[in-house]
Chain A
């Protein structure tokens, strides 16, 4: 297989892969395909620079970073070794698997949220214990539809969730959403949101207290009622308000019109 084929098959399989490409210096355009296990294809021209650059690329890939690094022609990376030599600039580009979104509850809002999440690049799993609702036919846009309860779902693969990921609980049903919140809080997931009216939210707090979830630190991780206050109503508008909240909680920005704020946009 060519380096491109090796690279694209990793991306398609959602397995982490990085490209390290010489963008300046000898052998411009030469590249390495690197996985967490090491070099999977290509060469930068000699084994020494391949060794040094692949080592650095594995580090960048682990951190999910995309960056330009500088070397000598034989892979020298300490500044003293770079004096009076040609510099090789290497563009290291990390392709991490897509972030995950788990949506609990197979309702109308779920389909709209799954569609919007796909636009943002999420790998979307819809989960509901009711077999007649949690079907592929109703959620063709989801990557996966699971018929199961929240607790086994989190026990099985809660350790896959990290800071880039999101859990959205749209069930409105305490027997489903309380264990989903409990399960999500036991993971490192970056965003937890729970749908419901303000009244439902108050009742839910009582039920969470019943199962021992009372600390401000835990509750501050739970966005409830889910979404930004955009004033929308339809499932699609609600989906936009949810992903808007996910983005603003990641960036730490208060979601307001740019026209009403100062400072840099990006």
Chain B
């Protein structure tokens, strides 16, 4: 998240609403560890990354739904499992858990 702060500050100064997505856990193989983060503003601008590009666009969709209030802040999981509800996963076969919330703190 360290490298997102300059852009986040700029967005906050411009009065933009922001969603923050942070990797809280990885099972199996994953390109980025816990703590990898990306942020999405209300205009759909994106900074940072949470995987090798495998799940970022799906994270943007979730983040915008959380910003608009359609979805609550929550843990979102991508990857392969029996009850897999998501079409996207990590190409390396891992499971990635992200916490996404509005940055209103």
Contacts and interface: CB of A to CB of B under 8 A. Distances in A.
| Interface class of chain A by DSSP | mixed
A234 interface: no
Contacts of A91: 22, 24, 99
Contacts of B92: 265
A67 B25 CA distance: 8
Interface string A86-115: 000101010100100000000000000000
Given A4-B105, A264-B29, A68 B24 contact: yes
A66 B5 contact: no
Interface residues of B, number: 25
B34 interface: yes
Given A11-B5, A265-B92, A66 B74 contact: no
Interface in B52-105: 72-75, 92, 99, 101-103, 105
A45 interface: no
A66 B34 contact: yes
Contacts of B48: none
Interface residues of A, number: 25
Contacts of A11: 1-2, 5
Counting chain A CB atoms within 10 Å of each CB, the highest count among B1, B24, B73 belongs to B24
A8 B99 contact: no
Contacts of A66: 33-35
Nearest to A12: B5
Given A11-B5, A28-B74, A95-B1, A266 B105 contact: no
A29 B75 contact: no
A21 interface: yes
Query: Which 7 pairs between the two chains have the least Cβ-Cβ distance?
Result: A29-B73, A23-B99, A29-B101, A91-B24, A66-B35, A66-B34, A3-B105
21 contacts: A4-B12, A4-B103, A8-B5, A8-B8, A8-B9, A21-B22, A21-B99, A23-B74, A24-B74, A24-B75, A28-B72, A28-B73, A28-B101, A31-B105, A66-B34, A89-B75, A91-B24, A93-B34, A121-B2, A264-B29, A265-B29
